[in-house]
Structure formats: structure tokens, C-alpha cells
């Protein structure tokens, strides 16, 4: 490692490697296939940049963002290293300079975006210029299960085979499943040399708070850190602009950033943030992966991130220089509803949605943690033996109590309703709130009805939220968010284990009497409404019409609230006319019930009308008499259209039936059909 140590000092200006760097540099320099999982700010870039200088030929670096590539190239060039990038952001002069350096064999590091691999000419170019190593930054982007999936990352494995050179992959966010996928997709299933440097960032202080005037909370957090560079992440583009305006009015240097801005404006914002001290950027998650600013002193989330991996990566933007940094993450029930809806309305397969719900549950567990947050976070990534003292719960321990009885009551309500309902309906059962839905299902007679009156609705919501955080219950996407018990809950249900809950969280829920967020439907029905909207969007996009042309919101809300179980019931929903029932009814019914509905087109036209019920009875009678009363006659039946005509007869008598059915059918079915018609009249 003598040469590496010399380059480390001469080129990069460091006297010593950071922990774990030396071993990775040695493996990559020796040409071993390598997978390194290192914490953000742990010095990943040096682990492929330094070996590139030690090896003959060119090292190709696949990186996901142009801004990050340009920053690294500029830094290398400043250090005297011949490096370049081929990106869509290049000027013609920059591209010419890269090709010239490649042709004369001077270039040591060539940065490329994964999308460039889609061009067939890219592989030919790389084969011609003598590539000796492929380095993949942000390797977790290869994972189709991850939160930053980039489809073109799937081309890298083929590139490695075409060039027949070693590959070194680096990431800061890769749980066990993602690591397995990286090995499969990048290394063709052949295990590389793996380095797991740990996920701990001990210089970052972790903090969470329930939303209680979130704008005021963010303004207060920023005010205590005035003059420091910070990032505020928001869930929507509009919120970035409004919150940036509020911070500006409070005297901060601030800008907003989101994916809806023009590309030039985004580049200006990125450059400004990199160059200015003490600037706050209020942004969506479109901002950040390519940001390598070392002195970001704080990161705040005005809304809950979408997963624990996303949270880890986003707070990892702070304190990359190793100096102290702080974080604050705000969360509330509306965040959880939004994140659940985003998962359920997505087009991912069921197993992917289930995994996404699990990742969100892990983040909720971190938000509702009883003890050290760092321990909770790192245990998710498979690390134990954590020393913290640097999170809000270590600063001020949570007030807890034995919540076993409350949790057992909630679990009992879930099981006694066959795991078919969400928290809203279950809370109504526990507090004895006799709603129409409870009366319709007879749930007022359950043993668990009214057994939870020691808590009010908001307190029970806090308990259910904590149960989800502990992964005792999970929303079932196939049942539109109905809560299902996990195996982790069994010991509590059997009185074999106890569970502690946060009393301060429940007390805050009871004392917080601010007006509730106006939701379109109850918590109970929100997941189903999301699923119905997703189906409506698919039809609207296919037909190239506005969504309301399919069904308006009011119609979908009524579907979500009444949950029709048949086309006849669907026909009673306001806004579902005959044509829409015929065209869309079965598809929306499938979303509600989870079952494909098969119905003869003639019968479908009678759906929702009294004649439809009569038709069904006539069909049953016909089945009983198809071989006569004794079951020995030759089979005989009526066509669907004929049955429909009978079902719609008014003031029918035997003469009218004989005229409609004909002699043979009237003799076989007439008296029984007449009985059905008379009973219905």
C-alpha cells in the first residue's frame, strides 16, 4: 500500500485513510470484484478514485446524477488528475476534450450516466479505449425493490461481461435484500469481496416530533441555526415554495427546488447551494443525491419520508465533513395516509407493495421509538452494540407505560372482525361508537365492543400508530389497508410478552384538539378510495380523457363508503349509470371485493333493477325444472334474453306467459315462473 499512501497524501491531501478505506482500496486496486457498503460521508469516492490512479488504463465510473459527476470531475481536475465526464450537460468543447484525452491514453477516470449505456456505441467506445475497471456509485439504484431504482443500472452487468474487467460497487443504503440484488444484477450472482463498513453517522443528531403547527416548528428549528447551511425536505412542490417564502420572510437566505422547475433553474440552484455559505434549500427529494456539499449542518423533514432507507439517505446529506450536524423529522397521521396511498396506488406488483409497506413500518417504528433512535435505526440495517447519547430520546427519555392490555384489546378487535377492517372501524368498536357500519355488521354484539373507553379516539389512534411501528399489525394491500396481525403480536395476544408504549405520545394526542385535517373519507375507507382512484386513472389514461369523465370523486367516495359487493349494489351508487356500469362496473367491483365478477351481458343490463332479482329467481327455478319435475324429461331451457323478457313482465298471467314462452316451455316452467312473478309484485 506504499503507492496508495503516497497518492493519498500527494493527490488527495490526506495523511491517513478513514476507517475501512485502506482495505477497500487494496482490494479494488488488486482487481477484485468488490461491493462496499459505507456510510454517507465515509469516503466512498476515494475508494475507486485512488485505485484508478494505481491501475493501468481507464476507470469508468457509472454515477446517477450529472451534478455529482461534474463536481467530482472538477475536484479531480483541481487535484491534477485527468478526469472527464460524458453527459448531456457537456458543452461541445468539454466533450471534445474528453475524446481527445481518451484517444491519446491520458484520461484516468471517465464518468458516465447509466442511461448512456443504452446507446450501442457506448460499449464499442469503451472496448476501444482500454478500460481496466468499472466503478458503480450509488449501486443500490440497481434494485427494483429500492427507492431510487434506475432501470439503466440493469445494463451494467452486461457491460462488465462485454469488457471482461473487474467491477467495484459502492453504496451507503443497502439492506440485506438489496445487497443480494446487487450481487445478482451486477456480478451475475458470483459473490464479490464484500465490505460492510457500517451505517452509523455518530456526528448526526437524530430527532423526531409529532406535527403540531409544522410551519412554526420548521421556522423555530431554522431560527436556532441561523446562518448555517440546511435542507428542508417537503412532500409537495407547492409546499417547497410556500415554506421557502416563510423562511425568507423570517430573514433567512433561502431558495426552493423541485422537479417541476426548468432544468437551467435547477442547475443554477444546485450551483448556488454548493457555493454559498449559510443557504437553506427547501426541496422535494428531487434534490440531494448528487449533492456533495460537506458543510450542511442540518436537515429537516417537514413531511415524513417514504421509507427508512430514504430517511437514512436524506439525513446523510448533513455533516459529511464529520462535524456535528442535526436533524428533525416531523410526522403526523396525514403523512402516513399519504405514504400508504402512494404505495397502494402504485403500479408495483403485490410483493413490491408489501415490501414498501414494511419499509414504511420500519420508519414509523423509528418515529415512535421508546429508546435510543440510533439503536433502532442501525438495528434495521443489521447492526447491534450501538453507543449513542446523541438523539432526542437519549437527551430526554420518553415517558412510557405498560400498554399490553390496550394492545391486546386492539388485537382482539382485529381478530374478531376477521382482519377485514382498518383502524377507524376498530376504534369505533373499542370505544363503543355505534355507527351505521357497526350496526350493519352486528359488531355491537362483539365481546370487544366498548371495552376501550379508557381512551378516546385520538389516543387509540396513537396506540394503533405505535402498534404499526412495532410491526404488530400491518395494512393488507389486498384488503385495502385492513389491519392484519403479524407473528410478532402472538406472544402479546397469548399473554406471553408485554409491550411498552409512549405515554407522552398518547397524552399529546388527547390534548391536541386542533381541527382535524379534512379528509375525503375516513381513515377506514381511505386505502380503498386510493385504489379506486388508481383504477379510474388507468381507464382515463387509456381513453385519454379527464378522470372525472369515468367517475367523479363523489361517486368513488360513495363506492368506498358503501363497498358494494355486486353489480346490483354497484348500480345503486350515485353516478353509476347503465352504460358506465356495463363498461366499468365489473372492474371497480373487482377492486372493492378482490374477486372477478362474471355475469351474462343480458343480466348485467338488469343490474340494480327489480327485474334483475326476478331474473335470478327465474334462473334458479329453470335449473330445478330443466329435466321436468321428476328429473327424467328431456332437457329444456330458456335463453337469457327470453328470461329477461319474463322478468320484466307486468301483471303477468298464464296466457301472457304461454304467448311469450311457447307451448312446451310454458308447460314446463309456466306455473313456477308465475309464482315468482306474483311474489315479486
Does some domain include residue 344? no
Residue 206 per-residue DSSP state: B
pLDDT tens, residue by residue, 285-334: 877 655 667 778 899 999 999 888 889 989 988 987 777 899 999 998 77
- Examine the domain organization and report whether 422 and 502 are in the same domain: yes
- Rounded to whole angstroms, the Cα distance separating 259 from 238 reads 11
Are residues 387 and 472 located together in one domain of the fold? no
- 444 and 382 within one domain: no
- The pLDDT tens digits for 476-486 are 767 777 888 98
pLDDT of residue 510: 47
Whether 340 is in a domain gets the answer no
Q: Which of 166, 196, 226 is the last residue of a domain?
A: 196
Provide the domain limits for residue 67. Answer: 2-196
Residues 365 and 469: beta-carbon distance below 8 Å: yes
CB 656 within 8 A of CB 649: yes
Is 411 in the same domain as 457? yes
Same domain, 303 and 372: yes
User: Any idea what DSSP says for residue 516?
Assistant: P
Contacts of 226 (CB under 8 A, 6+ apart): 251, 252
| Sign for the pseudo-dihedral over CA of 468, 470, 473, 475 | positive
| Within a domain: 501 | yes
Q: The dihedral of CA 452, 454, 456, 459: what is its sign?
A: negative
21 shares a domain with 143: yes
Beta-bridge mates of residue 163: none
Among 543, 571, 598, the domain boundary falls at 598
Which CATH number fits the domain that encloses residue 177? 3.40.50.300
Residue 25 in domain: yes
In a domain, 558, yes or no: yes
**Pair 109, 55 in one domain:** yes
Res 232: pLDDT: 97
Q: Are residues 41 and 171 in the same domain?
A: yes
Return phi, psi of residue 62, to 5°.
-95, 120
- pLDDT confidence of residue 145: 63
Indicate whether 128 belongs to any domain. yes
Question: 549 and 501, same structural domain?
Answer: no
State how many domains the chain has.
5
Distance from chain centroid for Cα 148: 11
Sign of torsion, CA 594 518 363 424? negative
Mean pLDDT by 10 residues, the chain (681 residues): 77 78 94 90 87 94 83 79 86 88 91 84 84 92 74 88 93 78 90 87 92 91 89 93 96 92 85 80 78 82 91 88 88 80 78 80 87 90 81 90 95 95 93 92 94 92 82 77 88 92 67 40 77 84 71 82 88 78 87 74 77 84 84 85 87 83 87 86 70
How many H-runs (helices) and E-runs (strands) does the chain carry? 33, 18
Amino acid at each position: 500500500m506504499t503507492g496508495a499512501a503516497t497518492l493519498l497524501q500527494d493527490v488527495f491531501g490526506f495523511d491517513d485513510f478513514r476507517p475501512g478505506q485502506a482495505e477497500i482500496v487494496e482490494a479494488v486496486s488488486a482487481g477484485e470484484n468488490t461491493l462496499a457498503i459505507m456510510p454517507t460521508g465515509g469516503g466512498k469516492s476515494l475508494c475507486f478514485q485512488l485505485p484508478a490512479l494505481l491501475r493501468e488504463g481507464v476507470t469508468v465510473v457509472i454515477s446517477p446524477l450529472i451534478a455529482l459527476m461534474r463536481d467530482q470531475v472538477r475536484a479531480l481536475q483541481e487535484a491534477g488528475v485527468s478526469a472527464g465526464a460524458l453527459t448531456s450537460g457537456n458543452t461541445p468543447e468539454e466533450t471534445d476534450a474528453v475524446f481527445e484525452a481518451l484517444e491519446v491514453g491520458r484520461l484516468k477516470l471517465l464518468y458516465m450516466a447509466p442511461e448512456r449505456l443504452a446507446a450501442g456505441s457506448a460499449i464499442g467506445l469503451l472496448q476501444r479505449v482500454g478500460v481496466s475497471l468499472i466503478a458503480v456509485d450509488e449501486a443500490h439504484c440497481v434494485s427494483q425493490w429500492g427507492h431510487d431504482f434506475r432501470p439503466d443500472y440493469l445494463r451494467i452487468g452486461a457491460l462488465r461481461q462485454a469488457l471482461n474487467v473487474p467491477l467495484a460497487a459502492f453504496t451507503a443504503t443497502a439492506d440485506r435484500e438489496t445487497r443480494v440484488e446487487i450481487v445478482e444484477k451486477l456480478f451475475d450472482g458470483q459473490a464479490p469481496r464484500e465490505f460492510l463498513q457500517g451505517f452509523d453517522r455518530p456526528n448526526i443528531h437524530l430527532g423526531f416530533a409529532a406535527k403540531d403547527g409544522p410551519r412554526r416548528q420548521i421556522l423555530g428549528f431554522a431560527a436556532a441555526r441561523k446562518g448555517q447551511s440546511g435542507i428542508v425536505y417537503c412532500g409537495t412542490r407547492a409546499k417547497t415554495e410556500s415554506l421557502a417564502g416563510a423562511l425568507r420572510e423570517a430573514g433567512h437566505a433561502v431558495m426552493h427546488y423541485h422537479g417541476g422547475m426548468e432544468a437551467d433553474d435547477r442547475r443554477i440552484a444546485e450551483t448556488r447551494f454548493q457555493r454559498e455559505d449559510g443557504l437553506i434549500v427547501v426541496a422535494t427529494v428531487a434534490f440531494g443525491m448528487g449533492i456533495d456539499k460537506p458543510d450542511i449542518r442540518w436537515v429537516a423533514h417537514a413531511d415524513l419520508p417514504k421509507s427508512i432507507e430514504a430517511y437514512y439517505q436524506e439525513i446523510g446529506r448533513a455533516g459529511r465533513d464529520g462535524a456535528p450536524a442535526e436533524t428533525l423529522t416531523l410526522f403526523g397521521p396525514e403523512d402516513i395516509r399519504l405514504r400508504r396511498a402512494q404505495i397502494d396506488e402504485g403500479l408495483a406488483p403485490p410483493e413490491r407493495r408489501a415490501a414498501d409497506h414494511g419499509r414504511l413500518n420500519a420508519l414509523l417504528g423509528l418515529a415512535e421509538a421508546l429508546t435510543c433512535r440510533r439503536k433502532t435505526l442501525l438495528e434495521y440495517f443489521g447492526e447491534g452494540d450501538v453507543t449513542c447519547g446523541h438523539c432526542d430520546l437519549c437527551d430526554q427519555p420518553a415517558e412510557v407505560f405498560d400498554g399490553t392490555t390496550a394492545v391486546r384489546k386492539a388485537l382482539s378487535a382485529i381478530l374478531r372482525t376477521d382482519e377485514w377492517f382498518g383502524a377507524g372501524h376498530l376504534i369505533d368498536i373499542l370505544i363503543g361508537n355505534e355507527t351505521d357500519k357497526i350496526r350493519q355488521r352486528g359488531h355491537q354484539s362483539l365481546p370487544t365492543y366498548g371495552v376501550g373507553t379508557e381512551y378516546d379516539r385520538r389516543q387509540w389512534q396513537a396506540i394503533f400508530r405505535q402498534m404499526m411501528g412495532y410491526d404488530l399489525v400491518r395494512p393488507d394491500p389486498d384488503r385495502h389497508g385492513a389491519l392484519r396481525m403479524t407473528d410478532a403480536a402472538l406472544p402479546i395476544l397469548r399473554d406471553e410478552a408485554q409491550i411498552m408504549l409512549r405515554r407522552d405520545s398518547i397524552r399529546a394526542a388527547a390534548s391536541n384538539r386542533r381541527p382535524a385535517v379534512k379528509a375525503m373519507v375516513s381513515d377506514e375507507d381511505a386505502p380503498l378510495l386510493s385504489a379506486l382512484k388508481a383504477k379510474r386513472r388507468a381507464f382515463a389514461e387509456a381513453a385519454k380523457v379527464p378522470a372525472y369523465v369515468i367517475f367523479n370523486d363523489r361517486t368513488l367516495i360513495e363506492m368506498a363508503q358503501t363497498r358494494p359487493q355486486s353489480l346490483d349494489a354497484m348500480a345503486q351508487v350515485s353516478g353509476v349509470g347503465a352504460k358506465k356500469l356495463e363498461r366499468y362496473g365489473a372492474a371497480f367491483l373487482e377492486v372493492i371485493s378482490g374477486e372477478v365478477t362474471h355475469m351474462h351481458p343480458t343480466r348485467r343490463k338488469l343490474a340494480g333493477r327489480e327485474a334483475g332479482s326476478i331474473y335470478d329467481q327465474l334462473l334458479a327455478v329453470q335449473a330445478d325444472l330443466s329435466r321436468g319435475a321428476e328429473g327424467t324429461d328431456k332437457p329444456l331451457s330458456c335463453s337469457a334474453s327470453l328470461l329477461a323478457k319474463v322478468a320484466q313482465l307486468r301483471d303477468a298471467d298464464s296466457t301472457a306467459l304461454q304467448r311469450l314462452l311457447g307451448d312446451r316451455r310454458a308447460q314446463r316452467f309456466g306455473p313456477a315462473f308465475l309464482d315468482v312473478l306474483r311474489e315479486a309484485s
